[in-house]
Structure 1
Amino acid sequence: MVTQQETLITEANTGHCLAKLGLERFHGVAILGSNGPEWVIADIGAIMAGGLAVGIYSTSSPEACGYVAASCAANVVVVEDNAQLSKILQVQKQLPHLKAIVQYRDRLEEKRPNVYMWEEFMELGRTVPDTQLDSIIRSQCVNHCCTLIYTSGTTGTPKGVMLSHDNVTWVSKGTKDILRLPDHGVIINYLPLSHVAAQILDLWMPMYMGSTTSFAQPDALKGSLLTTLKEVRPTVFAGVPRVWEKIEEKLKAAFNQSSLGKRKLVEWARRIGLQASYSRLDGDGSVPWGFAMADRLLFRKVREELGLQRCTLFLAGAAPISKDTLEFFMSLHLPIFEMFGLSEGSGPHSTCTNETFRIYSCGKELPGCRSRIEQPDAGGTGELCCWGRHVFMGYLGMEAATREALDEEGWLHTGDLACHDPDGFLYIVGRIKELVITAGGKNITPVPIEDALKKEVPIVSNAVLVGDGRKFLSMLLTLKCQVDPVSGAPLDELSPEAVQFCRELGSQATRVSEVLSTRDPAVYQAIQQGMERVNQRALSRAHRVQKWALLPRDFSIAGGELGPTAKLKRRVVLSAHEDTIRGCYRD
């Protein structure tokens, strides 16, 4: 374990080393690789030396790496290993400002000019006087840009979000205060540090609170995260929806494999747990009869099995999470507080807390943050606009895009559809750019319909609504399957939960290919019946899904259909399956 004081000394030394390499003010230090101490040290060292800390997703292509490094005028690129180094070398000629590359893992396969191993790099700063770095630090202002968060590019070209010293420090304090987080906690970092959520929750806030950050394995989202949870036993845990869904699937599979008596016990305890969670979060304070026994027989054991016995706060963000998943964990007395935020807002804008909770809501705004609903419809839904000290400085080198996002009064136009309830709780309905606009001119928000189908048909992993410019709606579906533990790629084998679902229907299928090749009557009928139940609750005829198609492979980060935080890339999916979509609309 490295102490905070030791880390600060190392970060300052890194600043000396970057100065020695010729880092210029407000030029980028791009960091490309898996999370780890070196990532954080390079990040803070870059800021101390007057540069801009710039994370690049480790899954990025050479072209994407080159785009980010060029747009931030990177003087230095810090890479994890030879594989990441190769990406930069392929685009090096496109980087006129690049002065050096530093590699922090593996040994260099070949010695090259101005390419350093981490150990060599850390020796460079010995000749740089402390007064030089101190002068740079003193010259920095709170409204200077210190870090760039590049958007994932799910809706277009990645943009460099400029965040100031004030942005990140103000949000870190505000988030800690509203969540009432104790100092000296234990946090697991597994989300990419190039993402704003990880930057605030796993980097800046732990520094402010004196907390310990443990780094998960690079394959955390491929299945190793649960092992890390058991080893570290965090006091706070933030999960993207896909992580919570995967944990839910594992727990349900374990419950289903239990004896009849144990299943009955679990059902009873979960009813008690759900009632207790709602009572607590609604401010009732009453504890239902049998809670102590349910806690002893189930809730504590689940926490221990997940490594969450010390955890006092469970968070979700970065993408929508379904009500069913929220209630599943509430039934185990693990209430998840949903947050809303975005890169342009320096992370969190609103959150549920123990004092302010509504299920499926993103809670209330952080103190000092304000929301406005632009052009609301009859139901009060419109574009969410945010205002406060957390709002970003603008997009690097993109004045037109900045003017589109920020109005003259400083309101950030998020592109999210949202509404408030009478008590001031914020609800995110969807993204404006994700609206499906039918040929009849109806605006359809896809997520509620997709979530409803997944609830009705538990074998479905992903659902994507289709119908932009079409006469009616269709849907692309994938089935739950097992995942390659190394690559994270979806396999042909159905997940245990999916196999159990098939058996209950009378189907003997164990593979996705079996279901598709035989058009398995039991599975196809179950999906169709589930779709019909969803359609019965549709807001109008235009909201009904008339056709659907099963895809041969589930979505994944490795396959490119999901972003770095497992967020769906709709444009990628729609483009990759154009032929299937056309088939849904053939007469």
Structure 2
Amino acid sequence: LVNSRSEKLSFAREHLNALFGQRFPMMFLREHVHFTPESSPEQLAVINYTSGTTGFSKGVMLPYRSLVSNVLFCNRTIGIAPGDNIVSMLPMGHVFGLVYDFLYGVCFGAHLYFLTRMPSPKVIMTTVAEFHPRIMSCVPLVIEKIFKKEVLPKIDSKLGKLLLHIPIISEKIKEKARTESLRLFGGNIKEVIIGGAPFNAEVEAFVRSINFPYSIAYGMTECGPIICHSPWHETAYMSCGRAAEGMELKVLSSDPARIPGELVCRGRNTMLGYYKNQEATEQIFDADGWLHTGDMAVINPEGDVYIKGRCKNMLLSASGQNIYPEEIESRLNNLPYVNESLVIMYNEKLVALVYPDLGESLKDGLDDHALWRQIDISRQELNKELPPYSQITKVVLQNEEFEKTAKKSIKRYLYQNMNP
């Protein structure tokens, strides 16, 4: 107990063993455990914070209804068995880690192993080699680093690139990559669930081509967290799956399958509201009970949801075209020497802020100017593949990693008004 304003609570914490022994002098039995009755699904269970991508964190009031619905959905779509191992690398303060790792694992008999250091590829590889997890939940950045630094270098030679275009040999290389990937994830992995941020399109294409068992989970704290998720073998490329059971979705657009609009949802997973913030609660829920996610999306006729970007992040070109910076950043992040990027609008032109991969540049003997030059050449090549209205006019290198929230989303609001 780090801090307490209650003498009663402080006393209880300091005398925990003695008080427990007085309460249960013989043994602690099943009949001593009392769960919230099914007749009280709307009772408040957890107040969870939202990570402040806007600069203002809020307390999300999640009822038992939401937590139970999410945990049961996890079991239907993933399905662990008692005794399976879960390696947890997400903070318990974030609802994705709280539900997908902790609550789901405990409720269905899994063994949980928590990382005690930052989840670098080296730390993760060491951990999974020891505990052989059945499932893992993580943010895209972790998966991207593992595949870029541990898998791709072993097949990404000139010969490998050539062979990938020859169908017969290509399958052999892909099988080798799949075997190596499964080994790196402990050799027992059933599924890796990715969520919390957009997944790099090129990395996903590679992961998909080798039939690696990954799936994309989409949601928000306000839904505790799941809105969309499909089993890995049903997940469509670049989609975040279909509506979770008990959730209803629609896109506020004249043509939801082709024209992006805000994604709204309602159902069993949604929160009660924001703690002591009625104004914010009324802003996110409309009169019909739809929760406005703040994300732009399209939904195809099969029900697959494709997130385009945050409504508030959308940029408008001089010609009136909608630009989703996340889509451009996904392409930028796959370029040589680029670690991560952020696209901003300056004087009606797009500028890419880039935090470079300094380890790779030092290994290749590049000074600051040579590094910038290499990335700028890549920018020019990338522009040939982008529509005229979304082309990047220049690259500005950042000396430090972008500031992020707990779920590793860049705090965009800190950089939007920069003068590059």
Residues 466-545 of structure 1 mapped to structure 2, 5 A cutoff: 466-467=344-345, 470-480=347-357, 494-496=358-360, 498-499=361-362, 503=364, 508-509=365-366, 514-515=367-368, 519-520=369-370, 523-541=371-389, 543-545=390-392
- Which position in structure 2 is the counterpart of 1:344? 222
Separation (CA, whole Å) in 2 of partners of 1:101 and 1:535: 64
Residues 400-443 of structure 1: CA distance to partner in whole angstroms, max 9, x if unpaired?
11111112322111001111123221001100111224566553
Q: SS in structure 1 opposite 2:280?
A: helix
- Which position in structure 2 is the counterpart of 1:568? 410
Shift of 1:538: 3.1
Q: Which has the higher contact order (CA 8 A, sep 6+)?
A: 2
Going from structure 1 to structure 2, the CA distance change for 1:138 and 1:245 (only over 3 Å counts) comes to closer
Question: Which segment is superposed worse, 323-332 or 338-347?
Answer: 323-332
The alignment of Structure 1 onto Structure 2 pairs a total of residues equal to 415
Larger gyration radius, structure 1 or structure 2: 1
Q: SS in structure 2 opposite 1:409?
A: coil
**Identity of matched residues, %:** 23
Residues 470-491 of structure 1: CA distance to partner in whole angstroms, max 9, x if unpaired?
32221211101xxxxxxxxxxx
Going from structure 1 to structure 2, the CA distance change for 1:208 and 1:568 (only over 3 Å counts) comes to same
Q: SS in structure 1 opposite 2:234?
A: coil
* Candidates 14, 39, 43, aligned match of 1:144: 43
* Candidates 387, 397, 401, aligned match of 1:554: 401
Amino acid across the alignment from 2:413:
R
Going from structure 1 to structure 2, the CA distance change for 1:160 and 1:100 (only over 3 Å counts) comes to farther
Q: SS in structure 1 opposite 2:142?
A: helix
- Which position in structure 2 is the counterpart of 1:239? 138
Separation (CA, whole Å) in 2 of partners of 1:355 and 1:252: 21
Shift of 1:120: 4.1
Amino acid across the alignment from 1:548:
V
Residues 180-579 of structure 1 mapped to structure 2, 5 A cutoff: 180-221=79-120, 223-252=122-151, 254-255=153-154, 264=159, 268=163, 295=175, 297-304=176-183, 306-376=184-254, 379-437=258-316, 442-455=321-334, 457-467=335-345, 470-480=347-357, 494-496=358-360, 498-499=361-362, 503=364, 508-509=365-366, 514-515=367-368, 519-520=369-370, 523-541=371-389, 543-555=390-402, 561-574=403-416, 578=418
Residues 531-571 of structure 1: CA distance to partner in whole angstroms, max 9, x if unpaired?
22333333343x2222221122233xxxxx12222211112
CA contact (8 A) 1:266 1:298 kept: no
CA contact (8 A) 1:271 1:331 kept: no
Amino acid across the alignment from 1:316:
I
* Candidates 68, 71, 75, aligned match of 1:172: 71
Shift of 1:122: 4.1
Q: Structure 1 or 2: larger helix share?
A: 1
Shift of 1:360: 0.6
Amino acid across the alignment from 2:97:
A
CA contact (8 A) 2:213 2:233 kept: no
Shift of 1:141: 2.1
In structure 2, runs of 5+ residues without a counterpart are none
Separation (CA, whole Å) in 1 of partners of 2:362 and 2:160: 23
TM-score by length of structure 1 reads 0.64
Separation (CA, whole Å) in 2 of partners of 1:189 and 1:545: 38
Question: Which segment is superposed worse, 421-430 or 528-537?
Answer: 528-537
Amino acid across the alignment from 1:99:
S
Amino acid across the alignment from 2:190:
T
TM-score by length of structure 2 reads 0.87
Shift of 1:125: 3.8
CA contact (8 A) 1:340 1:362 kept: yes
Separation (CA, whole Å) in 2 of partners of 1:135 and 1:183: 22
| RMSD after superposition | 3.3
Shift of 1:452: 2.0
Going from structure 1 to structure 2, the CA distance change for 1:123 and 1:353 (only over 3 Å counts) comes to same
Going from structure 1 to structure 2, the CA distance change for 1:138 and 1:226 (only over 3 Å counts) comes to same
Amino acid across the alignment from 1:193:
M
In structure 1, runs of 5+ residues without a counterpart are 1-77, 80-87, 93-97, 103-113, 276-287, 481-493, 556-560
Q: SS in structure 2 opposite 1:553?
A: coil
Going from structure 1 to structure 2, the CA distance change for 1:214 and 1:174 (only over 3 Å counts) comes to same
